[in-house]
Amino acid sequence: MSDEEDIEALAGEYVLGTLDAAKRAAVAARRQREPALDAAIAAWERRLAPLAEAAREIEPPADLFSRIEAQIDAASRGATAAAGAEIVDLMRRLRRWRAAAFAGGVLAAGLALFILVKDVMRAAEPSNFVAVLQKDATSPAFLVEVDLRSRVLTVRPVAAERQAGKSYELWLINAKLGAPRSLGVIADQGFTVRPALAAYDRSVIEDATYAVTLEPEGGSPTGAPTSAPLWSGKLVQASP
């Protein structure tokens, strides 16, 4: 529909009185600033004027107003009786609603308190841990950092030398898991960052031994270590 057709339709509805009060007020305001809409309304008024002029005036019956009042009064008395019954019913419902609302409020408050306590306890738990993987106290090779909230693992080479055609692979060792679990190949340079601990419980992560083996390039082909660990270590708390 074109803008011109929109204006014509809107003007026709305005003159015929089919718009609701809010839309009619909006069109009246638009008419003051939109010459095209004002002209369309004026044209519709001219077209419909003969219909208004052709309609003859009708004098309402003299007792019409009194009959309307009598009907309103009768309807009011009937409505009052019905309203009384409805009020009694509503009071009963209100008492039930109040009881249900109180019970719901108590339940919601308890749930909110439980969530708050749980969050506070979680916040109080330490989340950042580190492990120095080494053969002895004087030969650190890798630094492992663990964020227990996000389960993100970061491995940083310290002194391990790169081996041609080989890859260093990190393992999670915990009696609860049975066989060692691979945490992936460690990058030759820079940091290795991955959410490798997402599948493990906090207790497993904290109590585990972290070990590095030298594997074929790309990692162990069997999913299990193919050599003895070169360096290992356990997590210690770094910060809350």
Identify whether residues 116 and 169 lie together within a single domain: no
Radius of gyration of the chain (CA): 41
On average, the pLDDT of the chain sits at 79
Amino acid identity, position 219: G
Identify whether residues 235 and 142 lie together within a single domain: yes
Does 121 score more than 60 pLDDT?
A: no
- Cα separation, 117 vs 119, in Å, equals 5
Let me know if residue 115 belongs to a domain: yes
> Over the stretch 59-103, which tens digit does the pLDDT of each residue have?
667 777 777 777 777 766 665 555 566 666 666 666 666 555 554
Q: Read out DSSP for 107-133?
A: HHHHHHHHHHHHHHHHHHS--EEEEEE
Q: Which residue has the tokens 């019956």?
A: 61
Does 124 score more than 70 pLDDT?
A: no
The maximal CA–CA distance of the chain, rounded, in angstroms, is 115
Identify whether residues 94 and 138 lie together within a single domain: no
> Of 94, 109, 124, which marks where a domain is finished?
124
> Of 124, 158, 184, which marks where a domain is finished?
124
> Over the stretch 39-71, which tens digit does the pLDDT of each residue have?
999 998 888 776 666 555 666 677 777 777 777
Identify whether residues 210 and 164 lie together within a single domain: yes
- Cα separation, 240 vs 236, in Å, equals 11
Strands 192-194, 128-134: parallel, antiparallel or unpaired by DSSP? unpaired
Identify whether residues 140 and 106 lie together within a single domain: no
pTM recorded for the entire structure: 0.48
Identify whether residues 98 and 166 lie together within a single domain: no
Identify whether residues 11 and 84 lie together within a single domain: no
Identify whether residues 165 and 191 lie together within a single domain: yes
Give me the CATH number covering residue 232.
2.60.40
Identify whether residues 157 and 177 lie together within a single domain: yes
Question: Three-state SS for 233?
Answer: strand
According to the model, what pLDDT value does residue 96 have? 65
Looking at the 3D structure of the chain, how many domains does it have?
Answer: 3
211, 160 in Cβ contact below 8 A? Answer: no
Identify whether residues 143 and 172 lie together within a single domain: yes
According to the model, what pLDDT value does residue 217 have? 93
Identify whether residues 153 and 230 lie together within a single domain: yes
Let me know if residue 64 belongs to a domain: no
**Mean pLDDT in residue range 139-164:** 88
According to the model, what pLDDT value does residue 54 have? 58
Domain containing 170: what range?
Answer: 128-239
Q: Which of 235, 232, 238, 226 is nearest to 139 (CA)?
A: 232
Identify whether residues 108 and 144 lie together within a single domain: no
User: pLDDT exceeding 90 applies to what percent of the chain?
Assistant: 37
